[in-house]
Structure 1
């Protein structure tokens, strides 16, 4: 009897490797088109960019003279790049903090309000539907010194001394871009935080309320710790978005006044296409890629550790 069972088991065992190979071949057939597209539009251009960063190519001529690390040495010693890096870091830190604070506040408001919840949700989310170019044009008109609505409102309410050139004054240009970007981006992160809030069991806040905890204490000890996962996602996304900010600067200030609002992404565009120094611009893009990757890894590790501690 045992020999008969062994004989019947052998064909089944022999079929398993064949079926596994068939499924592997099917999986490769599904993966191959996507992999080819990814290779063509991501891997190949990335490899080409790495090579271009070691050349003095102007973006037009066929001359791609290899110059080694000369572009990276110039980046290291360039005051303009140092200023752009400083502006990028200031803008990134400000946007990450302000966007997440605004998003959490709006999410709590939408989650707690009883009337017109969908209306508030739509109003807060609407700015994210606008492109950066459209948003930049809108705020450039609002903050215009001569006919901008904001200065007209200040003058109408008796605050004419506060009227300034918000986009032409070095003291306020960066602040204007940051606040307008927060207006545009906070609604997107609000949706993520709102999903996190709705995943918190209401029994926890009810029990804390019975124990005498007020609203702030409930937020500090219950809501905020349980939003750690949503906060990790939102902070990483907002950080990457802030490091790559371009549209608003291009439309609202063109990197000015002077170089006060010029960031790394904008200087890459100006150098590569405005000054016809594609090699130098590509080298700067490689540096920006390494900065984004390094900051993202550090941020994720820190936030994941914070999630465990909470």
Structure 2
């Protein structure tokens, strides 16, 4: 059976075009293809898209989670939850802006540290000079497959006031910091050594999103630095494998030719390895960026947002507001704002890291 359609020609007229009939064999192939992908499509719809649509509806409600969100007991409030979160001055907006500030520092140092460390580790285990490379690859990847809860508890014992880290520091005459009780940022701590304990007038009077510039420029707290160290250690092994795959795809002939032409090791790395690793670097930065904005379990185990909310994150606020305060509409609104932030930053990062024609 043939189908007739019309198509505009260069002269502005239309003429009939006949398509080739779809054979019975190709039709069976299409049906078989849809039959094979149907289970995956059903799973995605039921467990991904349907919950997302339901969460979007919940974000428009004042719902306590005790009844169905589609019943009359849930009050429809429209964009009120988003307005309270982003525009209305109050505790919710203040906590959210604090969480954004904390997460910005977390993303900055965590993504940078993870990319640099995992790339260095990949270079090390890919070197032909290193013996037992398979052993080191396994050891370096081991933290990535260990429970994040178990590692967080381990770090809690290490960095508490009487923990191993402070005991070791005391052996060399250094008073260990109060890792999970000092609310000051590292920049404020550094300035306090020079006698600057308060905010200058301009930084105190200028506010952005309800927070003064002095608070925005505080730097991560000591507790947040601990979380950053934990995440870098646990995730660098996974990203090391991404870089390792890319390094093994670099043609050995190119490196040998560059060496014969007199290029030094640094020149080969700068002008040969790095350009060929561009896609892998972009992928790792994208994945690390998304994972950093979604940090939750480490905060829940180690600090629960403290001290003084300096480790508060949007994901933790969404959890507390939903399951702690029974404000599931507010929690869903926080989750969708976080989703929008991740999408925007990911698109920007992909645009910056795109391949450009010479």
Please give the TM-score of this superposition, normalised by the length of structure 2: 0.78
Is this contact kept in 1: 2:124–2:130, CA < 8 A?
A: no
Map 1:162-173; keep pairs closer than 5 Å.
163-170=176-183, 171-173=221-223
Q: Distance in 1 between matches of 2:45 and 2:252?
A: 48
Determine which of 344, 349, 353 is the counterpart of 1:299.
Answer: 349
Q: Distance in 2 between matches of 1:114 and 1:40?
A: 48
Determine which of 23, 34, 37 is the counterpart of 2:40.
Answer: 34
Q: Which residue of 1 aligns with 2:313?
A: 263
Determine which of 8, 22, 25 is the counterpart of 1:19.
Answer: 25
Is this contact kept in 2: 1:56–1:65, CA < 8 A?
A: yes
Which of the pair is proportionally richer in helix? 1
Q: Distance in 2 between matches of 1:256 and 1:286?
A: 24
Which of the pair is proportionally richer in strand? 2
- CA displacement 1:112-166 (0-9 Å, x = unmatched): 14312122111211110112211211111111111x121122122x1423x1122
Please give the TM-score of this superposition, normalised by the length of structure 1: 0.89
Q: Distance in 2 between matches of 1:43 and 1:227?
A: 34
Paired residue total: 292
Q: Distance in 1 between matches of 2:281 and 2:297?
A: 25
Kindly state the Cα deviation for residue 309 of structure 1 after the two structures are TM-superposed: 5.4
C-alpha change, 1:48 and 1:80, in structure 2 (3 Å) is same
- CA displacement 1:43-92 (0-9 Å, x = unmatched): 21111111110111012245210011110001113111111111122211
Question: Which structure 2 residue ranges, 5 or more long, are not aligned?
Answer: 1-19, 88-92, 184-220
Is this contact kept in 2: 1:168–1:253, CA < 8 A?
A: no
- CA displacement 1:205-226 (0-9 Å, x = unmatched): 3333333333222211111111
Q: Which residue of 1 aligns with 2:86?
A: 76
Q: Distance in 2 between matches of 1:238 and 1:159?
A: 37
SS at match of 1:258: coil
Is this contact kept in 2: 1:137–1:252, CA < 8 A?
A: yes
The reply on whether 1:90 has 2:105 as its aligned counterpart is yes
Q: Distance in 2 between matches of 1:198 and 1:181?
A: 26
Cα RMSD for the two superposed structures: 1.7
Map 1:1-310; keep pairs closer than 5 Å.
16-61=22-67, 63-77=73-87, 78-112=93-127, 113-146=129-162, 148-156=163-171, 158-161=172-175, 163-170=176-183, 171-304=221-354, 307-308=355-356
- CA displacement 1:262-309 (0-9 Å, x = unmatched): 0111111111111111010001111111111121122122212xx335
